[in-house]
Amino acid sequence: MKYVPRAALFLGIPALLFLVPWWLLVYTTSSGAVFWGGTGVFLVGYACLPVGMVLGHGRAQSDAAVVVGNTLLGAVWVLFSWSVIGAVVRAGLIVGGVEDPVRSRIVAVGVLAVWAGLVGWGMVEARRVPRVRTVDVTIPGLGRGLDGLRMVVVTDTHFAALNRLRWSERVVEVVNEQRPDIACHAGDLADGPVVRRRPQVEPLGKVDAELGRFYITGNHEYYGDAPGWIEVMTSLGWEPLHNRHRIIERGGDRLVVAGIDDPTGIALDGHGPDLPAALSGADPALPVILLAHQPKQIADAVKFGVALQISGHTHGGQIWPFHYLVRLDQPVVAGLSRHGDHTQLYTSRGTGFWGPPLRIFAPSEITVLVLRTPNR
């Protein structure tokens, strides 16, 4: 019985996602053979979605099922969202006196056209090499020797069932073109077993950053093999900041780069965020740059006077209008924001994508954070 609520959600949410488009596109527009044919298509889709998720993300770990299930999930989410908008338009046409079947068919054609265009565009956006986003961040207390220091951030690469080895190589090329002093990976490296995903991750070993390459775990590492991914990144020359810090020095000035685990890590012995441990032994007079996967970890960063927290996790919503749901869980969806009196937060939209191979109105990014001294 304890699994009944979970099963109800697992089946109920897809039912809603398919029911609204079915009503708008099939029920209101057709009859006879067309009606039953359209209904059959929606029923097949509804059956395939949970099956794909179970076979892909369950014990079977089928990559083919992952691709089918995730793609179907993204496609039906877009169709559901625009069907809701279509229903509002349909109501407006009723008020305007437009009669059926013209009214329903206009809306159906419009929704299908927008859906097809957005899904096609979203797939291209998800698979492209991310655009570079450069942001100047003024850090109080930053010495002049560190002015202009370039931190290049990638996050949420989510190497998974779709083989993106060439994409990974191109991302590394773009990162190196930015001449990073420090390179950071802010978590959610990959989904799935290390033995399957490692080839896609290995190009990261070619990132060139003179002052250090730092990595933290995201929540998805803890859904799989976090210790294994920490070992892989170590072998590639990246330093995992597992509740630790390092002192960066240039031109006679210093700052602290620290990292903490994702909150999901508390389920694994010896893991979970511990900011006091991460800052233990650090000079409190030095500015602190903190890698923390989730933006909501900013609450602790503010308490400890962190100058800048760098996060990912949100993907900027990834598929519009999902960012409204993300905002219910996180204080920020994307960009640079200020918290408390002294702490800033930069939230990346992510470099890759999770699940559905779509990005709609939430472009991926490789971020260059240029640290600046006040009144330089």
Determine the angle formed by the axes of helices 63-95 and 4-22, rounding to 10 degrees: 50
**Torsional class of 139: left (φ above 0), alpha (ψ -120 to 50), beta (otherwise):** beta
Condensed to tens digits (0 to 9), the pLDDT of residues 172-201 reads 999 999 999 999 999 999 998 999 999 999
Domains contained in the chain, CATH given: 6-127 (no CATH), 131-372 (3.60.21.10)
Beta strands across the sheet bearing 182-185: 131-138, 365-372, 150-154, 182-185, 213-215, 239-240
Instruction: Calculate Rg over the CA atoms of the chain.
Output: 23
pLDDT for 4 equals: 66
pLDDT for 1 equals: 63
pLDDT for 336 equals: 98
Report, as ranges of residue numbers, the positions in the chain whose pLDDT lies below 50.
none
Q: Is residue 284 exposed (0-12), middle (13-18) or buried (19+ Cβ within 10 Å)? A: exposed
Query: The whole model's pTM is what?
Result: 0.94
Q: Is residue 51 exposed (0-12), middle (13-18) or buried (19+ Cβ within 10 Å)? A: middle
Interatomic CA distance for residues 338 and 345, integer angstroms:
6
DSSP string for residues in 286-304: S-EEEE-SSGGGHHHHHHT
